[in-house]
Amino acid sequence: MKHSGVWRKRLGRVRANSAVDLLLRKLPGAPILTVQSAAELIGRSTQATNEAIARLTEAKVLSQTTVGRRNRAFESSDVIRAFTALERQLASPTGDTRTAPPARRVPRRT
C-alpha cells in the first residue's frame, strides 16, 4: 500500500520486526483495531502493542476512537479512504464516479 512509505517517513526510524513495524504491515488488512486485537494480530504483548499504537497515533498513522462506553479503538483513516476510493472506482463503468455515475450503491464521498 502506498501509504506505508509516507507512514514510515512520519515515524522516522522503525526497527525491523518491532511492534510498530509489524502493525504497519498489518494495517491494510485491519484498519480498525483495539490494543487487544492488535496484540493478537502481531503476536506481541499488550504493553508492547500499546506503546506501538501510541507511537502510530502520535505520527497520525492511527487516530483514537471509542467502541462502546470505555473501550478505545484506533483507526487508519488513510486505509479506510483508500478502500472507499477503490470501491467507488469499481462501481463506475469508467472507473471514476466523478465522470460516470455508479452502477451500484457506493460509500459517500468524504
Domains and CATH numbers, the chain: 3-75 (1.10.10.10), 76-110 (no CATH)
| Calpha distance 107→97 (Å, rounded) | 11
Question: Is the predicted pLDDT of residue 35 greater than 80, yes or no?
Answer: yes
State the average pLDDT over residues 80-87.
Answer: 79
| Calpha distance 47→11 (Å, rounded) | 19
Predicted confidence at residue 52, as pLDDT, reads: 96
Predicted confidence at residue 12, as pLDDT, reads: 77
Greater model confidence, 54 or 89? 54
| Calpha distance 73→70 (Å, rounded) | 10
Q: Is 73 in contact with 66 (CB distance < 8 Å)?
A: yes
Owner of C-alpha cell 483513516: 77
